[in-house]
């Protein structure tokens, strides 16, 4: 009977094209409004590295002022000091660890046809590549020995390699930045990141850096961070004083492969901070944290309140559209009271009438869903055009496509429940001149 009711539903759609168009358009608009905002919110907050997000932990140490917390909610600073980062790297207590900061360097291409340009780089450790798993097109990362040797090496992003070497395999070639030559050890492929979760301090949706160089090398060459730099007391004059200060400007990640390793590392951090307290640092109560990727994203409000409000409004609009659809379905099904009476007289039970009309509502839902999907895609194009920072999260994935269709069908069926129930209550004798 399902196929039969499906045929009847399709036929019914054709019978009243204007009414049908109004219902389908109503559902499609509601679906598009809600799904456009939901897609952005979903992708913003989605797990960027689901296979190991619970193993990657961001290190927070509370070295802040005794008089006030670093953040209003009492949480520790969002970054660590250079000296703490260095101490944690040297202790190497995690399975993998990578301190990092962002730098900006002038690039002087060998190719005279390419003009010099300013490039953003990430100064980090070789473990970064094993932890965050960017895909390599050529070569690979530098190694820990090169970290220790402050080697002049670099990993190029795909765009930088395209710009400097025309996309060719540039492993072993040299890139001159700020008067220093760096040897290319690897070239990344297209690294599709929905959010730049490894550094949320300078915008969650900015592009990954164009190149990567060893943390130790950047410090060696006295490259200052271009990201946030917060101090609760003056750092003193000179580069060494800056490195030795309580200013926070380094992001520190560790990979801990099991809950036991996490517990061990927490204990290690507490022990480290207690030791530092003996040296007169860390005046605040012990407040170390090790959020994993998803916790860190929540903590940093990657999905902003504005986006949540917009999503709420999108769904409110869907409800309005559904109320409208309920009215239209009521009108449609009321007009079919005679047919309902006839079908009942010819042997249809109330249950069969209910199924028929619910499937008809479902047909409207599928139509609304397909149109809604197209409108959602258009809506996301508009979001990308209006908000460049959301370009990585304003696109449909298969899950959102499926969600759109399911939401449309569920919405239409919900909207159809009351009119269908009313249709089932039709007294056949009242509709037929017997």
For another protein, the binding residue among 304, 334, 349, 389 (CB under 8 A) is: 349
Let me know: does 208 contact 100? Beta carbons within 8 Å.
no
Between 15 and 192, name the residue whose CB sits nearer to another protein.
15
Cα(407)–Cα(19) distance, integer angstroms: 21
The region of 101-109, 205-213, 297-305, 336-344 touching another protein under the rule CB under 8 A is: 336-344
Decide if residue 339 touches another protein (CB under 8 A): yes
Q: Where are the alpha helices (DSSP H) in 213-304?
A: 215-220, 239-244, 259-278, 293-299
Tokens of 5: 């009711």
HSE (side-chain half, CA atoms, 13 Å) at 43: 25
Decide if residue 334 touches another protein (CB under 8 A): no
Decide if residue 17 touches another protein (CB under 8 A): no
Cα(32)–Cα(39) distance, integer angstroms: 10
Tokens of 315: 């769904």
Decide if residue 355 touches another protein (CB under 8 A): no
Look-up of token digits 């993998």: 96
Decide if residue 386 touches another protein (CB under 8 A): no
Is residue 74 classed as helix, strand or coil in its secondary structure?
coil
Decide if residue 342 touches another protein (CB under 8 A): yes
For another protein, the binding residue among 179, 238, 285, 347 (CB under 8 A) is: 347
Decide if residue 4 touches another protein (CB under 8 A): yes
Tokens of 80: 């660590």
Cα(91)–Cα(268) distance, integer angstroms: 10
Q: How far is the CB of 135 from another protein (least distance, A)?
A: 54
Binding positions for another protein, 34-63, rule CB under 8 A: none
Decide if residue 345 touches another protein (CB under 8 A): yes
Binding positions for another protein, 393-432, rule CB under 8 A: 427-429, 432
Decide if residue 344 touches another protein (CB under 8 A): yes
Decide if residue 352 touches another protein (CB under 8 A): yes
Decide if residue 145 touches another protein (CB under 8 A): no
Decide if residue 1 touches another protein (CB under 8 A): yes
Q: Which residues of 173-201 are buried (b: 16+ CB within 10 A; e: fewer)?
A: bebebeeeebbbbbbbeeeebbbbbbbbb
Cα(162)–Cα(229) distance, integer angstroms: 32
Between 115 and 425, name the residue whose CB sits nearer to another protein.
425
Site map (CB under 8 A) of another protein, residues 222-261, x = contact? ----------------------------------------
Handedness of CA 5, 7, 12, 13 (dihedral sign): positive
Q: Pick from 235, 208, 251, 232: which is nearest to 58 by CA? A: 251
Q: Site for another protein (CB under 8 A): how many residues?
A: 23
Decide if residue 19 touches another protein (CB under 8 A): no
The region of 182-190, 343-351, 377-385, 412-420 touching another protein under the rule CB under 8 A is: 343-351
Length of the chain: 434
State the residues that interact with another protein by CB under 8 A.
1, 4, 11, 15, 338-339, 342-352, 427-429, 432-434
């Amino acid at each position: 009977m399902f196929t039969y009711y499906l045929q009847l539903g399709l036929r019914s759609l054709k019978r009243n094209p204007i009414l049908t168009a109004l219902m389908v358009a109503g559902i499609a608009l509601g679906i598009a409004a809600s799904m456009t905002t939901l897609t952005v919110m979903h992708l913003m907050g989605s797990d960027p590295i689901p296979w190991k997000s619970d193993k990657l932990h961001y290190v927070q140490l509370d070295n802040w002022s005794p008089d006030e917390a670093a953040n209003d909610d009492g949480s520790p600073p969002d970054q660590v000091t250079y000296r703490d980062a260095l101490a944690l790297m040297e202790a190497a207590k995690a399975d993998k660890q990578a301190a990092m900061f962002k730098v900006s360097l002038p690039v002087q291409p060998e190719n005279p046809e390419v003009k010099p340009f300013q490039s953003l780089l990430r100064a980090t450790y070789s473990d970064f590549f094993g932890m965050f798993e960017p895909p390599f097109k050529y070569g690979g990362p530098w190694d820990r020995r090169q970290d220790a040797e402050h080697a002049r090496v670099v990993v190029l992003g795909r765009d930088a390699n395209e710009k400097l070497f025309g996309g060719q395999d540039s492993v072993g070639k040299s890139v001159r930045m700020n008067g220093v030559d760096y040897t290319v050890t690897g070239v990344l492929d297209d690294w599709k990141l929905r959010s730049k979760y490894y550094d949320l301090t300078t915008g969650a949706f900015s592009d990954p850096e164009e190149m990567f160089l060893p943390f130790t090398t950047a410090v060696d060459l006295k490259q200052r961070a271009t990201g946030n730099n917060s101090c609760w007391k003056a750092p003193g004059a000179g580069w060494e004083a800056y490195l030795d200060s309580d200013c926070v400007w380094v992001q520190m990640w560790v990979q801990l492969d099991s809950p036991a390793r996490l517990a061990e590392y927490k204990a290690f951090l507490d022990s480290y901070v207690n030791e530092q307290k003996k040296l007169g640092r860390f005046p605040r109560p012990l407040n170390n944290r090790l959020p994993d990727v998803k916790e860190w994203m929540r903590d940093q409000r990657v999905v902003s309140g504005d986006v949540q409000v917009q999503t709420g409004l999108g769904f409110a609009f869907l409800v309005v559209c559904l109320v409208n659809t309920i009215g239209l379905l009521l009108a449609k099904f009321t007009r079919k009271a005679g047919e309902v009476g006839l079908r009942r007289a010819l042997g249809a039970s109330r249950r069969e009438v209910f199924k028929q009309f619910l499937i008809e509502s479902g047909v409207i839902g599928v139509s609304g869903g397909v149109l809604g999907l197209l409108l959602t895609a258009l809506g996301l194009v508009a979001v990308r055009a209006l908000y460049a920072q959301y370009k990585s999260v304003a696109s449909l994935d298969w899950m959102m496509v499926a969600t759109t269709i399911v939401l449309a069908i569920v919405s239409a069926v919900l909207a159809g429940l009351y009119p269908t129930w009313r249709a089932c209550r039709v007294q056949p004798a009242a509709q037929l001149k017997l």
